[in-house]
Amino acid sequence: MRSDRDWNRPSTGARIAAFAGLAFLHLPVWVILLYAFTTEDRTYQFPPPGLTLHWFAVAFAREDIWAALRLSLAVATVATAMALVLGTLAAFALARSRFRGREAVTLLFVLPIALPGIITGIALLSAFKLGGIQPGFWTIVTGHATFCIVIVYNNVIARLRRLPQSWIEASMDLGADGAQTFRYVLLPQIATALLAGGMLAFALSFDEIIVTLFTAGHERTLPIWFFNELFRPRERPITNVVAVTVVLVTLVPILLAYRLTRPGTTEPNL
Amino acid sequence: MTAAIELRGVGRRFGSVTALEQVSLAVAPGEFFALLGPSGSGKTTCLRLIAGFDRPTQGSVLLDGEDVTATPPFERNVNTVFQDYALFPHMSVADNVAYGLKVRGVPATARRRSALEVLGLVQLEELADRRPGQLSGGQKQRVALARALINRPKVLLLDEPLGALDLRLREEMQTELKTLQHRLGITFVYVTHDQGEALSMADRIAVFREGRIEQLDAPRVLYVRPRTAFVARFVGSANVVEAHVAARLTGEARPFAIRPELIEVLVPAQPVRAGAITCEGRLEDVQYHGAASRWHVRIDAGPVLTAARPESEPAGQMPAAGDRVLLAWSPESAVPLVEGPPIP
Amino acid sequence: MMRVLSAKLYGRRGFYLALLLLPPLLWLGIVYLGSLLALLLQSLYAIDEFTARIVPELTLATYRQLLSHPANVDIILRTLGMAVAVTLAAAVIAFPVANYMARHAGPAMKGFFYVGVMMPMWTSYLVKVYAWRLVLAKQGILSWFVDQLGLTPALEGALAAPVVGGPSLASSYLGMFIVFVYMWLPFMILPLAAALERVPDSLLQASADLGARPGQTFRNVVLPLALPGLAAGSVFTFSLTLGDYIIPSVVGAPGYFIGMMVYQQQGTAGNIPLAAAFSVVPIVLIGLYLALAKRLGAFDAL
């Protein structure tokens, strides 16, 4: 294997280009980490004149941040729960079946991710306006659940397609009915896909801004709080601290999800 | 005696494709019954209809005299050994074997005991706590067998169970399966595309072709008296002589089959036994196959016939490629065939 | 009880399927598809100039307004131009990364690259935009680096260029372009790497064996087989750029983009019909792009 690739060694230039591309992707994330500790509170001066933990304490005492965080967590939890149920049902229905109109249904289940978020946002808003629905917690959840379903669906269906049909048949052959087959054979096999899909959905919802700005009304999720700060840069260091926190909160479930889905494929199920 | 399995005019269509058409057969209790055919001939579809994974679009399936056409697999007293074994990777070997008991609500200790007992039957007790992923192909095969036996089914369905094993292991398992079947007295329905396997193991064989049963007979009958050109060629190898050639050789315009080992190769001057059918031709080549050699002779009537002779024959000077030779066989060796559908 | 139910359902595959599919289908069918229809409906309404109220009568007036105002056409062209530029740049930068991780890296290095590409992709979107503001700011990290390297005149020259330039990187189309490329780069790398990974080594060996130099092998074997990945990635970068409104409002020159118009028209201006009509533009453009890619055979090797 190794020797197969030896004749095909990349040139030094190709190698440098690859690593430079990767470095480019990581540059801003590290910048944020650095700025969260800067002592300078008015400009983006680089290098920072000094480093401090002071801003973490300040951010910690801010009730508006806590309120936004609580709302974001609540929205992400509810949206993820809905997505887990609806996405899993859809994946089971579409994994192996063949029926007329299946293509159209499959398309519908990727459309919320395939079309730009702004379409989902303005479309939902149009519907809410037409239906006279007041924006609030549930309108945010509605928007998030719509694309979270796709995440869970993609993860679960990818796993289901890798399960041999003969496992289900073997289970039924040995006397297990549908419910027993689901509990003893299917559930253990899709558990990690469910967990991964759920965590990705949670992270995506927690971080969502494009759809949320259309559906939130006067509610402020953490990304909306953050977005407002970008235009009213009163307390930059606090924004920096929140940024670091958000990165950590979203990254942990994502890395876990990656680990859970890794055997077999290296592709993420977007 | 009621048949263990009976299919009555069973057909299965998938959209516009007919996988199985008008299949009727009855398997006696305790019989070793093989479904033999090339891939896509309908034999696996047939097995799946018996197991209940699929339902016929036509006809009915009876188990032990009871119509089970609409019964789901978990309500049928038949079990299956899958081609890919279908062992559950998240369960230990013992849990895999005990699965059939678990879903029937047998308590844990009792089912463990039974599982070990059945594993003993296939000499795998010591691997009870391994995962399927840690087993070799042959071991997986045995576990799959043990798992299918734990519910004491009246009928065991085996879908190409030895297909993934290498030759030596396959021959070993053939003997073992046959012994096990005798010991347990269970009806076996065995799907295979390997005619040698079917001939050596089965009591009766149904030869499938394009969704239909072409011939259903005991192995010996199937070999000695194939009904159609397809069976003659698929079960063992045979020279199939078409009607117009047959007319020139025997005077009767009816196709027949002749096994290569029943054709004698002679040099033209050699004396021929009285009553034998003979034809002259040119030797094209001789293939060495160890115990016997295969002689390909283009006969003057047109086609190439193959004769299989032991190494020592023919005595005297060996003809070389290009030489004239004489083929001879006794009339009763030639099996008249019915005109089946043409072989593509 | 369960068993009886299960046995009943087993025979009725269609019914069982419908039972599973109904809840998610209802959700996406009513909530999502319904909303898209509502969007289309809203775009066919118009706003009354005097009362500033939406008149619920079907009319093409809003679309006429959208396409007859030169300013609106400018916005569409500006967004389209940015989307094309970003897609091209992302493809050029992504290729060496994807090629290295798919075809040259050993298993450990491959894992490192996948995580390395996915981590920034999944890092908070807003935080990344914000970070770029810090990087591109007048006294920010990039100008510090440029200064350390003694390249300040070159940067100033670039910023002095017409159209793409501006007072600083943070308030120029050049800066916006960099941020867009950065944001969507992983969406180009991953499908491209997946496509390249499916190219068997034996094909490259066969090409070399038949006398092709590495460059020829790349052009004649690798590139055509990577095309579906490139196409898939470009659909992402193209469509994401068309629909984004956060990046143009946080980084870049004052010129409007489609997304910003949608957001502004529904918000401060309260003109939902015009916002809806604007949002139909990216859908049409993406549809055209997909049709074009399909025609050029970009998905044929799939």
Please answer yes or no on whether C11 and B75 come within 8 Å at the CB atom: no
Dihedral pair phi/psi, residue B60, rounded to 5°: -140, 155
Q: Alpha helix (H) ranges present in C137-172?
A: 141-148, 152-160
CA distance C253 to C173: 6
Please list every residue in chain A whose beta carbon sits closer than 8 Å to the beta carbon of residue B104.
175
If DSSP states are collapsed to H, E and C, what string results for B3-59?
CCEEEEEEEEEECCEEEEEEEEEEECCCCEEEEECCCCCCHHHHHHHHHCCCCCCEE
Measured over the CA atoms of residue C244, residue C245, residue C251 and residue C252, the dihedral's sign is positive
- Assess C11–B contact: CB distance below 8 Å, yes or no: yes
Query: Mean pLDDT across the stretch B158-176?
Result: 90
Neighbours of chain A (3+ CB pairs under 8 A): B, C
Please answer yes or no on whether A166 and B82 come within 8 Å at the CB atom: yes
Assess whether pLDDT exceeds 80 at residue B301: yes
pLDDT at A267: 40
Query: Mean pLDDT across the stretch A12-37?
Result: 83
Query: Mean pLDDT across the stretch B136-160?
Result: 93
Residue B61: both structure tokens together = 């399936």
- Assess A166–B contact: CB distance below 8 Å, yes or no: yes
Assess whether pLDDT exceeds 90 at residue C171: no
Q: What is the mean pLDDT of chain B?
A: 90
Q: How far does B227 lie from chain C, in Å, by closest CA?
A: 39
Query: Mean pLDDT across the stretch C138-164?
Result: 80
Assess whether pLDDT exceeds 90 at residue A57: no
Please answer yes or no on whether B74 and C11 come within 8 Å at the CB atom: no
- Assess C218–A contact: CB distance below 8 Å, yes or no: no
Residue of A nearest to B151 (CA): A174
Cross-strand pairs, B157: B80, B189
Q: List b or e across A101-120, with b for residues whose CB sees 16 or more CB atoms inside 10 angstroms.
A: eeeebeebbebbbebbbbbb
CA distance A74 to A225: 15
Query: Quick one: which of A106, A40, A114 has its CA closest to A270?
Result: A114
Read off the pLDDT of residues B250-264 as tens digits, 9 standing for 90 and up. Answer: 888 889 999 999 998
Query: Mean pLDDT across the stretch A243-249?
Result: 83
Beta strand pairing call for B324-329 and B204-209? unpaired
Residue of A nearest to C119 (CA): A251
SS3 for A108?
Answer: helix
pLDDT at B191: 96
Read off the pLDDT of residues B75-93 as tens digits, 9 standing for 90 and up. Answer: 999 999 999 999 999 999 9
Dihedral pair phi/psi, residue B296, rounded to 5°: -105, 115
Please list every residue in chain A whose beta carbon sits closer than 8 Å to the beta carbon of residue C117.
22, 25
pLDDT at C112: 87
Read off the pLDDT of residues A68-93 as tens digits, 9 standing for 90 and up. Answer: 999 999 999 999 999 999 999 999 98
Task: Kindly list the distances between the CA atom of residue B193 and the CA atoms of B14, B343, C33, C35, in Å, as whole numbers in the listed order.
Answer: 22, 17, 50, 56
Read off the pLDDT of residues A139-191 as tens digits, 9 standing for 90 and up. Answer: 999 999 999 999 999 889 988 988 888 999 999 999 998 889 999 999 998 98
pLDDT at C2: 66
Q: What is the distance of C-alpha B175 from the center of its chain? A: 15
Please answer yes or no on whether A164 and B151 come within 8 Å at the CB atom: no
Specify whether the CB–CB gap between C102 and C196 falls below 8 A. Answer: yes
- Assess C146–A contact: CB distance below 8 Å, yes or no: no
SS3 for A7?
Answer: coil
Residue B118: both structure tokens together = 């059945």
Query: Mean pLDDT across the stretch A204-216?
Result: 91
Q: How confident is the model at residue A43 (pLDDT cuts 50, 70, 90)?
A: low
Please list every residue in chain B whose beta carbon sits closer than 8 Å to the beta carbon of residue C3.
74
Q: Which CATH architecture has domain B248-336?
A: Beta Barrel (2.40)
Q: How confident is the model at residue A262 (pLDDT cuts 50, 70, 90)?
A: low
pLDDT at A4: 44
Dihedral pair phi/psi, residue B157, rounded to 5°: -105, 130
Query: Mean pLDDT across the stretch B282-304?
Result: 88
CA distance B334 to B198: 23
Assess whether pLDDT exceeds 70 at residue A265: no
pLDDT at A269: 41
Specify whether the CB–CB gap between B172 and B204 falls below 8 A. Answer: no
Dihedral pair phi/psi, residue A262, rounded to 5°: -65, -45
Assess whether pLDDT exceeds 90 at residue C221: no
Q: How confident is the model at residue B342 (pLDDT cuts 50, 70, 90)?
A: low
Specify whether the CB–CB gap between C237 and C257 falls below 8 A. Answer: no
Domain positions in chain B are 5-234, 248-336
Assess whether pLDDT exceeds 80 at residue B343: no
CA distance A112 to C27: 12
Beta strand pairing call for B335-336 and B256-258? antiparallel
Q: How confident is the model at residue C64 (pLDDT cuts 50, 70, 90)?
A: confident
Residue B143: both structure tokens together = 């576990």
HSE at residue A223, side-chain half, CA atoms within 13 A, is 29
Q: How confident is the model at residue B313 (pLDDT cuts 50, 70, 90)?
A: low
Q: Which of A71-75, B61-65, C200-204 has the lowest mean pLDDT?
A: C200-204
Neighbours of chain C (3+ CB pairs under 8 A): A, B
Instruction: Look up the CATH superfamily of B5-234.
Output: P-loop containing nucleotide triphosphate hydrolases (3.40.50.300)
pLDDT at A1: 39
Assess whether pLDDT exceeds 70 at residue B271: yes
H/E element, C82: helix C70-99
**Helix and strand tally (H, E) in chain A?**
14, 0
> Hey, what amino acid is at B200?
S
Please answer yes or no on whether C7 and B55 come within 8 Å at the CB atom: no
Assess whether pLDDT exceeds 80 at residue A65: yes
Q: What is the mean pLDDT of chain C?
A: 85
pLDDT at A27: 84
Please list every residue in chain C whose beta carbon sits closer than 8 Å to the beta carbon of residue B71.
7
Q: Tokens 């896909």 belong to which residue? A: A193
For the entire predicted model, the pTM comes to: 0.80
Residue B206: both structure tokens together = 């149904």
What percent of chain B is modeled with pLDDT above 70? 97
Query: Mean pLDDT across the stretch C272-276?
Result: 88
Please answer yes or no on whether B151 and A174 come within 8 Å at the CB atom: yes
* Closest in C3, C6, C11 to B70, CB measured: C11
More reliable by pLDDT, B136 or A230: B136
Specify whether the CB–CB gap between C134 and A32 falls below 8 A. Answer: yes
Cα of first residue to Cα of last residue in chain B, in angstroms, is: 41
Dihedral pair phi/psi, residue B303, rounded to 5°: -75, 170
Q: Which of B312-321, C36-45, C291-300 has the lowest mean pLDDT?
A: B312-321
Q: How many CB atoms lie within 10 A of CB A189?
A: 17
Read off the pLDDT of residues B178-209 as tens digits, 9 standing for 90 and up. Answer: 999 999 999 999 999 999 999 999 999 999 99
In DSSP notation, B182-249 reads HHHT-EEEEEES-HHHHHHH-SEEEEEETTEEEEEE-HHHHHHS-SSHHHHHHSS--EEE-HHHHHHH
> Hey, what amino acid is at B98?
A
